């Protein structure tokens, strides 16, 4: 997906407070994270009312060797979905970097 400078700023802030707090913490470890929010309507059957469902899409921005942006982003399908999926993915990034850092420090 091609992105512009506006996407780089707007997709790093989410309206949901819980997700936004975790996103800001995860951005300290992985600067390429971006999240977009979409809505769709879901209906269980003909007799039920439509229900608005939030769907989060997670992206990783592509950088070159010097850290410059190529203005492209890759969609992370395993991290996209409902709120629970996004929270689990962000917790994984935050905790994964702590574990890697502890292993690295123990080796030295």
pTM for the complete prediction? Answer: 0.80
Model confidence band, residue 65 (pLDDT cutoffs 50, 70, 90): confident
With both helix axes pointing from N to C terminus, report the angle between 17-27 and 83-107 in degrees, rounded to the nearest 10: 30
How far apart CA 73 and CA 59 sit, in angstroms, is 6
Q: What count of other Cβ atoms lies within 10 Å of the Cβ of residue 75?
A: 13
Question: What average pLDDT score do residues 40-47 get?
Answer: 90
**Ramachandran bin of 67, using left for φ above 0, alpha for ψ from -120 to 50, beta for the remaining angles:** left
């Amino acid at each position: 997906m091609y992105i512009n400078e506006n996407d780089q700023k707007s997709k790093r802030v989410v309206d949901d407070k819980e997700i936004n707090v975790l996103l800001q913490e995860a951005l300290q470890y992985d600067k390429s994270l971006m999240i977009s929010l979409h809505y769709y309507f879901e209906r269980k059957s003909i007799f039920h009312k439509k229900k608005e469902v939030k769907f989060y899409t997670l992206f990783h921005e592509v950088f070159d060797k010097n850290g410059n942006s190529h203005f492209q982003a890759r969609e992370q399908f395993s991290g996209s979905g409902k709120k629970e999926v996004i929270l689990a993915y962000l917790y994984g990034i935050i905790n994964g970097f702590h574990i890697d850092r502890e292993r690295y420090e123990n080796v030295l």
